[in-house]
Structure 1
Amino acid sequence: MEHGLIHIYCGDGKGKTTACLGLSIRCAGHGNKVLFVQFLKSRPTGELNSLKLFKNIEVMRGKETAKFTFQMTDEEKKEVLQEHELLFDKVIERISEEKFDLLVLDEVIGACNTGVFNEDRLVDFLKNKQHTLEVVLSGRNPDKRLVEMADYVSEVCKRKHPKDRGIPARVGIEK
């Protein structure tokens, strides 16, 4: 990329990660290199199987967790914070070793909002990122600082969802 911009996909609707994936596939389809990083997500999903088909998309994730952050004790959240800090250290290392065109930080906003990633560290990274690196952030309720830094902010709004009728996440659609 000549000039890397910052994107945010936010909102309470289904589709933020799907948008991240779509942009990643578009970017890779043009021969660009993508680093796709997931915070707060560690369970197996169909999209990970698909991304393995692309030679120029690399995926990084944290260790699998058995609980959602709202179910975690303070000690468990502290462990996840440490895991995410190590994950981000690896991200910094990878983008310094190799030229990536697109960096996706899927659900990093949620990680910041729940205290399992340091938002100041994210802001500092964005302020000092490589000029050519395109960066995508996703998650609900981005902080005003992130919104102001972003070049694109797209909100996915839930108007209706099957979970409201008690229909659980389905393989191939929601997971």
Structure 2
Amino acid sequence: MELGLIHIYCGDGKGKTTAAMGLGMRAVGRQKKVLLTQFLKDNETGELNSIDKLGNDFEVFKGAPVKKFFKFMSEKEQIDTKREHEERFSKVTKKAVEENFDLLILDEVIASTNLDLIPLSEVINFLENKPKGLEVVLTGRNPNEKLVELADYVSEIKAVKHPYEKGIGSRIGIEK
């Protein structure tokens, strides 16, 4: 890509990952190479099932599945998750650069920096030094102001109403 910009999809509303995936699908539809990794997720989502059907131009860099919220993990699980997330961030960004991907989606990387699973300084360093043509998407709640300053697009998705408030849990094909 001639000019790669930085996107943030943030906020407390449903749709941050969906927006990132939609951009990825658009890019693949225009013969762009997309690389995605999801932090703090379990690798069992409808989006990943759909991506498998798109072919080799939309690649998923899977990590160790995260089956529970960070705050409910044991100390050992938290340490293991931090190690895995740091290593994967390093590997996925290196892969994006070395293999000339057009778009890199770092789903829930903002949450990972907020929980100190990935050092914010490493994410900032990558964004400041990324190849000129690499488009990068970051998702998650409450982005650090430094990330907002570096971004070219910042879209906040605001929850106005959600079925969870009525006790309705995640549904296959809609929320997961």
Partner of 1:88: 89
Q: Is the 8 A contact 1:40 1:62 kept in 2?
A: no
- TM-score, length-scaled by structure 1: 0.96
**What is the CA deviation profile of residues 117-173 of structure 1, one whole-angstrom value per residue up to 9, with x for unaligned ones?**
111100000010011000000000000000000000000000000000000100000
Match of 1:63 in 2: 64
Query: Do the aligned residues in 1 keep the contact of 2:42 with 2:65 (CA within 8 Å)?
Result: yes
Partner of 1:9: 9
Aligned twin of 1:169: 170
Aligned length: 175
Question: Is 2:24–2:34's contact at 8 Å kept on the other side of the alignment?
Answer: yes
TM-score (norm 2): 0.96
Aligned to 1:110: 111
Larger mean CA deviation between 86-95 and 127-136 belongs to 86-95
Does the CA contact (< 8 Å) of 1:33 and 1:100 recur in 2?
A: yes
Counterpart code for 2:104: L
C-alpha distance in 2 between matches for 1:138 and 1:96: 20
Which whole-Å CA distance do the structure 1 matches of 2:108 and 2:96 have between them?
Answer: 19
| SS of aligned partner of 1:58 | strand
Identity rate, percent: 53
Q: Let me know the Cα RMSD of the aligned residues.
A: 1.1
Specify the SS of the correspondent of 1:25: helix
Q: Which moved more, 1:60-69 or 1:45-54?
A: 60-69
Structure 1 window deviating more from structure 2 (66-75 vs 155-164): it is 66-75
Gaps of 5+ in 1: none
Cα distance in structure 2, aligned partners of 1:106 and 1:124: 18
Pick which of 29-38 and 90-99 moved more: 90-99
Q: What is the 5 A alignment of 1:25-174?
A: 25-55=25-55, 56-174=57-175
For residues 118 and 167 of structure 1, what CA distance do their matches in structure 2 show? Answer: 35
